[in-house]
Amino acid sequence: MLRKIEHLGIAVTSISESLHLFEALLGTSCYKVEEVDSEHVKTAFLQIGESKIELLEATDPSSPIAKYLEKKGQGIHHIAFEVEDIEAEISRLKNEGFELIHQSAKDGADNKLIAFLHPRSTEGVLVELCQEKTL
């Protein structure tokens, strides 16, 4: 079950150049910068209320973020929903006919398990499911 909007992902060409703009806009500081090697992306997170903004910078020219920036430029890349049980949600959405990019959860940024739905099945919106990893 979807619980809430967890974060909005924004593709940027450079986190170091964009971060000050978003910190000033949101009136808060970045709380985490990390790289997700499997996705060839560097991320920066800002908390606002119960939701977050995730800035995404490509670390490899062949990465999905690099391709997105080349095609569409900087801007909103995806919307992420927090889920209670990511594997159950993947199964539910697959049964509902949604096309999944990831057939099972994988490690993502900010201590999350993640999976993406293909925009072809969500009216052009890239949707991410995310669940907090348990220790």
pTM over 0.95: no
Buried b (16+ CB within 10 A) or exposed e, 53-72: bbbbbbeeeebbbbebbeee
Residue in 83, 90, 87 with CA at minimum distance from that of residue 130: 83
Residue with tokens 């929903």: 81
- Cβ atoms of 33 and 15 closer than 8 Å: yes
Q: Tens-of-pLDDT digits for all 135 residues of the chain?
A: 889 999 999 999 999 999 999 999 999 999 999 999 989 999 999 999 999 999 999 999 999 999 999 999 999 999 999 999 999 999 999 999 999 999 999 999 999 999 999 999 999 999 999 999 986
C-alpha torsion 31→63→84→1, nearest 10: 130
